[in-house]
Amino acid sequence: MTAPVMNAADTRQHATFTALMWALSYPGRATRLPAAGLDALALIGETLVDLETGFFTPDAMLTARLARTGGRNLPPDAAPYQFYPRLGRADLDLLATAPVGSHADPDLAATIVIGCPLGWDTRLRLSGPGIAGTREVLIAGLPNALWSLRAATARAPLGWDLFLVMDSAVLGLPRTTTVEVLAWPM
């Protein structure tokens, strides 16, 4: 019996999927990705999006890369995977329409991937499954209104799973994680 041999693309996608799995399993703990910056978001998209699903991103370059997966480019209110290389205040209106699932089908909620720096701006306290007690993280470059919007939509089992991509690391915030904002940027 022979085992299949993974090529370089398979190996990168396997490592990316594993990083995403660990990021959601241990919310707030940064996990290393095999790519950085916009390439990291594209690699996450190439790992998650396929012929049977769709995506949304306001970024033209990322749209072109994700289109190569065979996934459909959908409006934000219908896209199961959404990618924001930078989340600005104007993007919050788009994000507010992202699917949150239903009680009959909570798996229809969107997975949101946002590029942002880790480290000096907004201090968050996280609690919930996968976190012993609480965990504090520092996030930068995101509109403060994101956290209010997330709180309004995260009602487990409803809500989005959120990945924050910081260069070559990813931090997962599943919908079951409670996020408390401790300090806003000055």
Q: What is the DSSP letter of 109?
A: B
Residues 138-161 pLDDT 10s: 998 899 899 999 999 888 789 999
Q: What is the pTM of this model?
A: 0.93
- We report the CATH number of the domain holding residue 169 as 3.40.50.11310
The number of distinct structural domains making up the chain is 1
For residue 184, pLDDT over 70 is answered with no
Q: Is residue 1 part of a domain?
A: no
Q: Confirm whether 2 is domain-assigned.
A: no
Q: Is residue 3 part of a domain?
A: no
C-alpha 82/C-alpha 91 separation (Å) is 11
Taking only the tens place, the pLDDT of each residue in 83-139 is 999 999 999 999 999 999 999 999 899 999 999 986 777 899 999 999 999 999 999
d(CA 140, CA 166): 10
Encode pLDDT of 58-91 as tens digits: 999 999 999 999 999 999 999 999 999 999 999 9
Helices 37-48 and 8-25 sit at what angle, rounded to 10 degrees?
90
Q: Residue 27: is the preceding peptide bond cis (ω within 30°)?
A: no
Q: Report the distance separating Cα 6 and Cα 122, nearest Å.
A: 40
Strands 161-166 and 111-115: parallel
* Amino acid in the structure at residue 102: S
**Structural domain boundaries, residue 67:** 8-183
Q: Cα separation of 130 and 177, whole Å?
A: 9
DSSP structural state of residue 14: H
Pair of tokens at residue 151: 């709180």
Residue 49 lies in a domain: yes
